[in-house]
Structures are given as C-alpha cells and as structure tokens.
A and B are shown apart, each in its own frame.
Chain A
Amino acid sequence: MSDLPVSLAFAAFSAVAVVAGIRVFRTDSMVRAAFYLLASFAAVGAIMVLLGAEFLGMVLILMMAGEMLVMAIVMVMYMMNPAGLNPMVMVHQHRTAIAAGAVAFLALAGVGLAGGVPQRPVTNPGAATGDLGRELLGNSMLVFQTAGVTLLGTMVGAIAIAAPRGRFGDADADSQEPALQPDEEPEA
C-alpha cells in the first residue's frame, strides 16, 4: 500500500476524532454527547489500525460500542428528560475544566515531543508480539486468565442477584421489600 492513501485516511480519522471530541462538549444532550464520544474513540481506533495495531484498534472500537451505550442509557434513565432530547447544558465548572484540560494537553504534548519515537522496523511482527507478551505477562498468564474468568463469573453473579428470583420472592410476583429503617413498616 502506498503512503498517500494512508496519510489521507490518517488525516480524515484525526479530523473526525478531534471534531467529534469537541462536539461532546458543544452538544446539548447527554445521548448525543455519548455518541460523539464514541465516534471520537472509533476514529482513534481506526488510527491505531492504520498504525499497524490492528487488534488493539479493533478491540478498542468493539469495547467502546457497549460502553457508550450503557453510558447513554444510564444517563437517560437516571438523570434525564423524556428520551434525553430536551436541550440541556453539558459543561459545568468551566474554569477548573479548562485548566485541567490545558495542563493535560501540555503534559502529553511535552511527553510526545521530548520522548522521541524509536525508528526500528520490526522484521518478524509475529515473533515481536510473542516476545512482548512474554515480557509483559511472563509466567503469570494463568493468573491473568483466571482473573478474567473470575471477573466474568462476578458479572454473571451480579446478573443472577439482579434477576427476578430474589431473596424476597419473585420480583415480578407480589413480594415485599423490607423497610428502609429497622423499625419501619415495609412499604406496600
């Protein structure tokens, strides 16, 4: 593949990431903000694919879809007006936010400029990935895998607890929750 299409794609995805990122704060609805954030992250994922980190880029895109949806639903359900379409302001604490943003940008830019980028082309990407994996995880692969399955088990457990079959009978039947205070009558 020649360099020009890649450069063009890089420019396009960068523009999407930046513009969508700005729109997160300039829009007037929480759901739109979540979707702009998703667009921004997806563009970053695409840039990672362009840089050769195919797996990481695609996994980033994959994970963000679910996360942003949960964020949008939770925001609409817990904080918002009907359907989250009525206008509202998305930014608070302007000064602190601007200061924090500026500091973070300068710090990251400083690291980027001062750190330099290594120029060592890898001859065998597969072996390099394997080496990196061994370097990072070493002999603790089993531990990491176990932790992953444990996390999954926790999620399943949480769902099981939230399922209708509860301690007080089936939630969709006529069960009664205990009172909030010890001496109170239970609420009907």
Chain B
Amino acid sequence: MTSLIARLAAGSDARVFAIAGAGSRAAVQDLRLADGVELVDSPRAADVLLVAGALDPRHHDAVRRVHDALPHPRASVRWAGSRDVLVPGAAHVALGTDPSSAIRAAHQALMHGTMPTEPPLLPDEDPAPWRGVGPYGQGGSGMTGGTPYGRPMAELAPDRDGLRLDLLPTRLGPFSSLLPHGLELDLRVSGDILVGVEVAATGLAASATSASLFIRALTEPVSIAELEIGRARDHLRWTADALRLQGLRALSLRALRLGLHAAPGDHRAVERLAADIARTGIYRWSLPAADGARTELLAGARLGPSTRASGVGEDERQADPAYRSLGFAPLLGAGGGAAAAWRLRLAEAVRSLELAGRGGDTRSAVTGAVESPRGRLALGDAPSGRALGLLPTLIEGMEWGDAMATIAALDIDLDELGAVTAGTSAEAAA
C-alpha cells in the first residue's frame, strides 16, 4: 500500500515554486510549458524550490524564508551560472540548460523517500518578543496595542463617516507571484483598498549581465526583423503572465507557446489569440476602467503601450530613419486604461510580426534611445524605472485586484532596469 502511494505520488507533476533571480525571468516562464513540472504561486503548494539566476546578498534571507515555507519533504534546485552555497544541498543546474529533469528527479526521490527532506535554513522563532507583555498578554499596551508576533498592529486612520477604519500594514515581495521578483512593496490596506503604497526595495543582483536585444540596439545597429520579432515575443510573454493573473490559464499557455517561437508568419495566429482573449469578456468585466488622472500620468511617461493606449503617439521608432523607410507609424489606442493597453500590446505584436516580415536586412540606426516593448529606453533611463516611480501614485486608492492588474500592465522588467543603470554607473566610475 505504502509503495503504491509512493509510486502514484512520484508520477504526479512536480510542483515548483520558482524564485526568478537576475537574468532568469524568461527561462523560468518557459518552465510552464515543461512536461511533468507545474509552477505554483505559493511556496506552501510546492514540493521543489527552484532558485534561478543571480541573487544579491540582501535577498539571501528572503530566499531562506521562502525555502522554509515549503512543506516537508522538500528539495531545492539551484539554477545558476555558477555553484554557490545559497541553499545548501541544492542540486545545481547550469543556467541555459533545462532544469526540468533535475526537478522531476528530486520530486520522485522525495516521494519514494530515497532523498531526505531539507532542514530549515532559519531558526523558527518570533520576530519580536511579545509573550506575556501587556495587560492581556497580547504583546503591547491598551486593549489592542503593541506589536504582537512582531507584526505591526492595524493603524487607526480618520474616515469621512466619523468611524475609524483600521489599516492593515503588509509587505509584498520580494518573491511574490504577484510582482516581478526583486520588487518589494509596503502596502497599507483598508478593507481591500490600497490606501498607502511605498516601493520598499527594488532590483535584483547588481551584476546583471543580461544584454537583451533592445539594450544591444542602444549601442549597435540591429536588424529590424530581429528587433520586431523580439518585441512581438515580449508582448506575447507579457500577455501570458497577465492572462494567468486573470485566471485564464489555458489561454495563457497558448500565448506563451506563441511567444516562444513567434515568427513573421504567425501574425494570423496572434490575431486569433487576440480575438479569443477579447471574447473572454476581459475588457468588459475584468480590468479596471480608465481614469483621467492615471491616464494622464501614463501619457507623459513614455511607457510604450501604456502611453500610446491613451492616444499619445510617443514612439522612438519614429526617429529612426530605418523604420521611417519601412513606412512605420505607431499604433494608437484611445482613452487609456488597462484594457486599451492590453489591446494595443496584442495589436503591436501583430504589427511587429508584419514589420519583421517586411524588414529584410534593414538595420536600426543608433540614436541614443530605442523603443523597448516597455517604452523609451536609453542609457541610464529605463522605462521600468519611470514605471516604478509612478507605481505608488497609480495604485493608491485602488481595489486589490485592480492594483495587481495595473502593476501587471506596467510590465516592469528589473533586469532591463539593472542592466541600463549598471551600465551608466560603470561609465560614471570609469
């Protein structure tokens, strides 16, 4: 009986919680298509922890906390360029090779009991002493005061009704499935409305070496076909993540599969995908409605599709003679808002594939700035940096789900941000 259960369990999909360190975001996303591996949103649901890419020492404790949140029996796989001791005992897989067989092997060994579970990396203790403190032993003064269990108590805030509504302070990140990994937000929540938002920390490893296509185009001419295929794939990958957040997992897999290999001939398939997405009602009842002040903020921030969705024709490609020779004109949305940005991203993916088909051998000109899928990219100035600056203003006052959809729509890429700003600081140092 026991062996039958172990055999059955070993045959189940290995459930993986992935920490996507610097330079590994796309590779981790591709694992969604791997056979026998299922990426989960919470470490509590996982059997195996995958720690991918380079991670700053300041994130090491967070990695350990995530590790200790996995239920026993657990195992870890370190997927990085070089071996390190971040998670002792983790199997090592070189970045660039497929880790799914190592993950499946670890999962099967765990289920058969041939591999011991990993012990916790951090001591299990209260973050702050509280027991027995206060009149009711609740760790503070007054009926509900103090910081029991090291967690700040709800704060009292004035409310217009004269009632005082409590605010729940909470930290999201750095490895939350809801945010790009590396981003930490301090949120104050009243009911399900975010009333206070601060970016607590951002950035992955400082030594981000990933030179993406668009960063390369900053310093050297790159074939337009290559750039535009890259843009279409990037938009499709974004769509896959955003669809998942909206609960449409099957469509998300379809978008990801398209995004993996999208080529100029695929523009019809992308059009069909866009039509199927529209049919889910996502633009009608899922995404937050456009709102004047926020649309204005985005309109002036040169954030690519988010800016063009409000009808502002801001696009660095217009300044490039190579693009002009192809008759390029930016696609524009109307009214702004998340739904318009969604539609525009999909329409741009189609347009990019068409452009790539016509591009031939034309190469882009080096003008000091390129239009990355996220907006205007220059040395020292990444669209994600500007998006992070706007983020608190954009989501403050929003309902939780709307805020998460809005963050997703900004498409924050900390790798791109790190690479561009690391470049300038290195130059400044030289």
Contact = CB atoms under 8 A, between A and B. Distances in A.
Interface stretch (A3-11, A31-39, A167-175): A167-175
Interface stretch (A74-82, A93-101, A149-157): A74-82
Given A78-B163, A78-B164, A80-B144, A87 B154 contact: no
Interface string A77-112: 111111000111100000000000000000000000
B166 interface: yes
Given A88-B144, A89-B143, A170-B291, A180 B163 contact: no
B265 interface: no
A177 interface: yes
Contacts of B151: 82
A82 B155 CA distance: 10
Given A88-B138, A89-B143, A177-B160, A80 B291 contact: no
Contacts of A79: 144, 166
Interface residues on A, range: 10 to 19
A170 B153 contact: no
B136 interface: yes
Contact of B136 (A77, A89, A170): A89
A86 B148 contact: yes
Interface string A43-82: 0000000000000000000000000000000000111111
A78 B165 CA distance: 5
Contacts of B153: 81-82, 86
Interface of B is mostly: loop
B160 A180 contact: yes
B251 interface: no
B288 A86 contact: no
A175 B288 CA distance: 16
Contacts of B288: 172
B119 interface: no
Contacts of A170: 289, 291
B289 A82 contact: no
A86 B137 CA distance: 10
Contacts of A174: 291-294
A87 B288 CA distance: 38
Contacts of A180: 160
B166 A77 contact: yes
B392 interface: no
A79 B163 CA distance: 10
A86 B291 CA distance: 38
A62 B165 CA distance: 29
Nearest to B294: A174
Contacts of B137: 87
B337 to A, nearest CB: 11
Contacts of B397: 172
Given A86-B139, A170-B289, A78 B166 contact: yes
Contacts of B154: 80-82
A158 to B, nearest CB: 14
B379 interface: no
B320 interface: no
Interface in B164-218: 164-166, 168, 191
A54 to B, nearest CB: 38
Contact of A28 (B136, B160, B163, B293): B136
B165 A77 contact: yes
Nearest to A76: B166
B339 to A, nearest CB: 14
Contacts of A172: 288-289, 291, 397-399, 402
B285 to A, nearest CB: 14
A88 B136 contact: yes
Contacts of A177: 160
Contacts of B399: 172
Contact of A77 (B149, B191, B289): B191
Nearest to A177: B160
A89 B143 CA distance: 7
Contacts of B166: 77-81
Contacts of A89: 136, 143
A57 to B, nearest CB: 34
B139 to A, nearest CB: 7
Nearest to B164: A78
B419 to A, nearest CB: 35
A80 B145 CA distance: 10
A81 B167 CA distance: 9
Contacts of A78: 163-166
A1 to B, nearest CB: 40
Contacts of B143: 88-89
Contacts of B398: 172
Interface of B: 136-139, 143-144, 148-149, 151, 153-154, 160, 163-166, 168, 191, 288-289, 291-294, 397-399, 402
- Please give me the 5 A-B residue pairs with the lowest Cβ-Cβ distance, nearest first: A174-B293, A173-B291, A87-B138, A81-B144, A86-B148
Given A78-B166, A86-B144, 10 more contacts: A80-B144, A81-B154, A86-B149, A87-B148, A88-B136, A89-B136, A89-B143, A172-B398, A174-B293, A177-B160
13 contacts: A77-B191, A78-B164, A78-B166, A82-B151, A82-B154, A86-B139, A86-B144, A88-B136, A88-B138, A89-B136, A172-B289, A174-B291, A174-B294
